[in-house]
Amino acid sequence: MRNLFLSLAATTALASPAFADLLDLEKDELTFGFIKLTDMAPLAVAYEQGYFLDEGLFVTLEAQANWKVLLDGVIDGQLDGAHMLAGQPLAATIGYGTEAHIVTPFSMDLNGNAITVSNEVWDLMRPHVPSMEDGRPQHPISAEALVPVIEQFSAQGRPFNMGMVFPVSTHNYELRYWLAAGGIEPGYYSPENISGQIGAEAFLSVTPPPQMPSTMEAGTIDGYCVGEPWNQQAVFKGIGVPVITDYELWKNNPEKVFGLTAEFVEENPNTTKALVRALIRAAMWLDENDNANREAAVEILSRAEYVGADYEVIANSMTGTFEYEPGDVREVPDFNVFFRYNATYPFYSDAIWYLTQMRRWGQIPEAKTDDWYKEVAESVYRPDIYLEAAQSLVDDGLADPADFPWGSDGYKEPTPAADIIDGIPYDGRFPNAYLDSLPIGLKGNQTVVGSEIQG
């Protein structure tokens, strides 16, 4: 395939800086998996804009049924890589669930999720939510407004059920974070009980993203946390109200990553570098000129082979706005971020936050040292590969050196209290101190034994 590509380039005079000096690719035919969510956009754009081809990569993109199928496909080699939940490479590497060494040289985006509740729940919450002068709800909305609703459900003998997409998903941890910040116990995991519902006041369970609206409409769940476009879909269908975006929950929080097996990266270093180059260029295109390309991106994503939702539904959040209730459209220019704020750089501190949440809720059952968190993060997140790809783009005149954190030690500056819903700052350099600062959740040497927290 490489020879065919070079011949085609030569005979049609297509040579450009992007592939004037193609890497000696170990593998040039690749299949990548994704879930039908807006934040798979870098993959679709890299394909549609020809960035993969510029690198000599012949890529097939395949939608997957759910996150487990996707992960299994990468592990068993049916997929060469995939759009992944950030928690998946970390969980697999430490042996939580399926065990395999998965790495990520590329972070796909920031923000992009929201928490939605059914109309019934919103009607019960609304009296407990402050209003602005124009009568609209004041955002961000705290989960404290949900407390009386859960109490009412309990008095009626009804469990309060919420959906999230996977046990190690950002959505699970964001939903738990929001609930806990409002004083609601979201439940714990233990080695013997992986339901995540030990001691829960709100019962969280897995629902695939595209099925979230219909599952809530059927009454099986009372709300959910998911990525777009499935929160906006609830507004368009008139079945629910998004109460908080993850940008309001934790400003510019990390979201998906691109995952590959460590074996693939070791055996195919040039191919890995080439695909990261293509993904960086796609992310740049998505954010350049103040999101000028977003409408074109929405058109791509609305196609059946990608997200397959209506253009208007995807555009509602992708183009810098977010609709909470019909007509209540607010400016949220950073709801989806793909490149700015170093969104694509795989920071160790992002990995450590996910690991702290696994520990907080019992998926990591016993205490770990700060060094352990650091070592796991460094074994999974690969900024070295990212920066090598970025430098080559700069050398080719395809990227601005000012856009990359060359001198970073892999840790972001601590997230200030003002940027997080519960007012508790986060510093990835001190994971145990951070865990100790959270009022709800495991800390120190605490463990979950049976239905109790001990220690």
Residue 440 confidence (pLDDT): 98
Span 143-163, mean pLDDT? 98
| Averaged pLDDT score across all residues of the chain | 95
- Percent helix, strand, coil in the chain (nearest 5)? 45, 15, 40
β-partners of residue 346 are: none
Fold topology of 2-111+255-346+382-403: D-Maltodextrin-Binding Protein; domain 2 (3.40.190)
CA 21/CA 181 separation, integer angstroms: 52
One-letter amino acid identity for 245? T
Q: What is the DSSP letter of 439?
A: S
Predicted pLDDT of residue 22: 84
Shortest CA distance to 294 belongs to which of 327, 331, 336?
336
Q: At what angle do helices 269-291 and 41-48 cross, to 10 degrees?
A: 100
Rg of the chain on CA atoms, in Å: 22
2-111+255-346+382-403 matches 113-251 in fold: yes
Q: What is the pLDDT of residue 374?
A: 98
What pLDDT is stored for residue 18 in this prediction?
45
User: Beta-strand (E) ranges in 178-300?
Assistant: 203-206, 223-227, 240-245, 257-261
For the purposes of burial, counting CB atoms within 10 Å of the CB of 91, is it exposed (0-12), middle (13-18) or buried (19 or more)?
buried
pLDDT tens track for 265-292: 999 999 999 999 999 999 999 999 999 9
pLDDT-derived band at 1 (thresholds 50, 70, 90) equals low
- Per this entry, what is the length of the chain? 455
Q: Delimit the domains of the chain by residue range.
A: 2-111+255-346+382-403, 113-251
> Alpha helices of 292-364 — where are they, by DSSP H?
294-301, 311-318, 348-360
Q: pLDDT tens, 48-76?
A: 999 999 999 999 999 999 999 999 999 99
Specify the long-range contacts of residues 155-162, CB closer than 8 Å, at least 24 apart: 159/203, 160/201, 160/202, 160/203, 160/222, 161/202, 161/203, 161/204, 161/205, 161/220, 161/221, 161/222, 162/202, 162/203, 162/204, 162/205, 162/221, 162/222, 162/223, 162/224, 162/225
Alpha helix positions (H), 182-242:
212-217, 230-237
Encode pLDDT of 199-249 as tens digits.
999 999 999 988 999 999 999 999 999 999 999 999 999 999 999 999 999
Q: Are 314 and 307 in contact (CB under 8 A)?
A: yes
What's the mean pLDDT in 107-111?
A: 98
The pLDDT > 90 percentage for the chain reads 94
Q: Which residue has the tokens 């350049």?
A: 288
Give a three-class secondary structure readout of 120-155. Answer: HHHHHHHHHCCECCCCCECCCCCHHHHHHHHHHHHH
Structure token pair of residue 404: 């990359």
| Rounded Cα gap, residues 120 and 363, in angstroms | 32
**pTM for the whole structure:** 0.95
Tokens 């009454």, residue?
A: 219
- 392-420 pLDDT, tens digit per residue, is 999 999 999 999 999 999 999 999 999 99
pLDDT digits (tens, 9 = 90+) for 315-344: 999 999 999 999 999 999 999 999 999 999
Looking at residue 125, its pLDDT comes to: 98
The CATH H-level superfamily of 113-251 is: Periplasmic binding protein-like II (3.40.190.10)
Element (DSSP H or E) covering residue 8: helix 2-11
